[in-house]
Chains A and B, each alone.
Chain A
Amino acid sequence: MAAIPLISARNLTKIYAMGGEEVRALDGVSLTINSGDYVAVTGASGSGKSTFMNLLGALDRPTSGHLSVGGEDLSEIEPGNLAGFRNQMVGFVFQQFNLLARTTAVDNVALPLLYAGIDSAERREKAIACLKLLGLGDRLGHHPSQLSGGQQQRVAIARALVNDPSILLADEPTGALDTQTSTEIMAVFDKLNADGITIILVTHEQEVADHARRQLVFRDGRVLEDRS
């Protein structure tokens, strides 16, 4: 099967106006990422790596240039359809987990399905399946406060996966975890990628970046290095 690019960016530019000054967060980035890739995005803070991730996840829109993800042209997509794109195409994993407090693991994982309009029985079934996949079959009814950091991040990964997205976007997924737990979480990512899901993760830790097959190094809104 020929590698059809899952993500294709052409001359992608994002300019923020900050205090009357223009900041070129992304300055003409062109690249492609294939389906099944495992990409680490690194760079100093302010290098544009987070902006790149936000554009990939349709949390933000480019100022100019083209970005297509999974055949959808994100620079053209209607604002009203962005939610659907985020719901179906990508799954987000955050540094701070961002789980809803006082809400069980199952309900946290089922949340994206709620917005996909899936009925409650199916939501629960899928959420439980996802949690089991991540080894949390015995923590279904636990609240985030009753879970360790690594377990919370695994719940968050389960939530990102529950809607079968094409791409997993992880922003510093190990930033809040100790070394041993980080290793566990990275093992989870490695396995998921081996199962076929495209993973793009932002990190500033080289050990984490080394798990990926491809590393993009950003500086001043441009791709400085693209190593495979």
Chain B
Amino acid sequence: MNLWASVQVALIALRVNAMRSALAMLGVIIGVASVIVLVSISEGTKAAVEAQISRFGTNLLIVRPGSSIFGGRRGGAGSATPMNDSDALAIRDEISGVSGVSGEVSTGASVIAGNVNWPTRIQGVNAEFFDVRDWILDEGRLFDEDEDSASRRLAVVGQTIVAEVFDGASPVGQTLRVGGVPFEVIGTVEGKGQTSFGSDQDDIVFAPLSTVRSRLGASRTPTVRGAVSTIYVDVGPGERIDNVILDIQDLLRLRRGIEPGADDDFSVASLAEFIRARNETESQLGLLLAVGAAIVLLVGGIGIMNIMLVSVTERTREIGLRLAIGARPGDIRNQFLIESVILCLIGGVIGLGVGISGTLIYAEVGQLEIAVNPLIILLAIGASVLVGIFFGLYPAHRASKLNPIEALRFE
């Protein structure tokens, strides 16, 4: 008996009990749909994280002071002696594999241009900062090392400042009063959008580090000359990040006079790892949900098996007749197996539709960029066929083992 004939026989049988077939499919539909939604969302999140990492720069290291300890009382993150300008210079000059270094200090201040007053964040940075943090010049120019050391009152502004303070017009050459101090705007940088934490990265004014420290009083510390709150280090392409981290740690321990065996009072963090770690919990949650979806699929399969067993019992006489007119046990087995696979396949296709729509709705509502991977279609179809075979095998086997005489007498 050929496959097409078996498929036709199976379709007739399914149509005869349309309601029951639909209910039996429901488990598979829900299972397949949830697998698709969860896998798509989890993949979309992963892609978003990777995009975020590459936007931040995967080669970025962040050096910050750690916790101070005074007589056993720990001061909390950042309370240890700040880093300073010479730490940054030392890292740049003495560590191999480093392609750029910039210190950073920051403070909040209101900026005024014309009659607009806008509270924002002022970041004092070295000239290399723009390369290190991948800020791309949009208009005008950036300041150089000499202008930084000379504490020139120059400003490079983000796109939010352009929009809010200068009303979208070019600010280059304009004067911007920052906390009462006039700065000349020399350039703008391209927008970066929001961070994953929701803060606007473009709502920012960059100025030479020494200017921000001396004029605006950021990170002014009586005990440390030239203090910076953070040092950003750009590791050159192809360099081993972990080696560079170890070298910086050794250098800073030496410079900060930390005795061997004592803990570091600073941290050298890789941003990529930080973001990955934060998202690890999310992907584990995704995995858990995927397992849940697989269980739904399993329960759906059990539903299929149940319905197939009912169907075999109900059609015992039919099976007996088929055997009497020349069906081989294998024909009977295939007939029920095909029926089960078709049941699951239809469920899988419907589930695919529901799952894709669900994913698209989720993406729309959540404003996320989620692409449904074409592989997922294969996965869904494959999973439904497997469920159909796996859970159809036992009922089909039972049907094929019926004794024709007893089957024909079955009431």
B residues less than 8 Å from A10 (CB atoms): none
**Top-7 shortest CB links A-B:** A87-B326, A83-B328, A115-B326, A112-B325, A98-B321, A59-B404, A86-B326
A residues less than 8 Å from B317 (CB atoms): 96, 98
The answer on a CB contact under 8 Å between A115 and B327 is: yes
The answer on a CB contact under 8 Å between B5 and A120 is: yes
Shortest Cβ distance from B77 into chain A, in angstroms? 75
Chain A contacts with B in 112-140, Cβ cutoff 8 A: 112, 114-117, 120
A125 to B331, alpha carbons, bound, how many Å?
23
Chain B contacts with A in 145-170, Cβ cutoff 8 A: none
- A11 in contact (CB, < 8 A): no
Given contacts A100-B318, A102-B16, A115-B1, contact A83 B326 (CB under 8 A): yes
- A35 in contact (CB, < 8 A): no
Given contacts A103-B12, A115-B1, A115-B331, contact A86 B322 (CB under 8 A): no
A88 to B327, alpha carbons, bound, how many Å?
11
CB-CB contacts of B265-286 with A at 8 A, as 1s and 0s?
0000000000000000000000
- A159 in contact (CB, < 8 A): yes
A91 to B405, alpha carbons, bound, how many Å?
15
The answer on a CB contact under 8 Å between B325 and A92 is: yes
A residues less than 8 Å from B326 (CB atoms): 83-84, 86-88, 112, 115-116, 163
Chain B: interface secondary structure?
helix
B residues less than 8 Å from A111 (CB atoms): 322, 325
A159 to B325, alpha carbons, bound, how many Å?
9
Residues of chain B at interface, number, CB under 8 A: 21
Shortest Cβ distance from A225 into chain B, in angstroms? 25
A83 to B408, alpha carbons, bound, how many Å?
15
CB-CB contacts of A59-102 with B at 8 A, as 1s and 0s?
11000000000000000000010011011100110101010111
Which residues of B are at the interface with A, using a C-beta cutoff of 8 A? 1-2, 5, 12, 16, 317-318, 320-329, 331, 404-405, 408
Q: Which chain B residue shows the least CB distance to A53?
A: B405
B residues less than 8 Å from A54 (CB atoms): 405
Question: 30 pairs across A/B with beta carbons < 8 Å?
Answer: A54-B405, A59-B323, A59-B404, A84-B326, A86-B325, A86-B326, A87-B325, A87-B326, A88-B326, A94-B321, A94-B408, A98-B317, A98-B320, A98-B321, A101-B16, A102-B12, A103-B12, A111-B322, A112-B326, A114-B1, A114-B5, A115-B325, A115-B326, A115-B327, A115-B328, A115-B331, A116-B326, A120-B5, A159-B325, A163-B326
Shortest Cβ distance from B101 into chain A, in angstroms? 79
A100 to B9, alpha carbons, bound, how many Å?
11
A residues less than 8 Å from B325 (CB atoms): 86-87, 91-92, 111-112, 115, 159
A residues less than 8 Å from B1 (CB atoms): 114-115, 117
A residues less than 8 Å from B321 (CB atoms): 94, 98, 100
A92 to B12, alpha carbons, bound, how many Å?
24
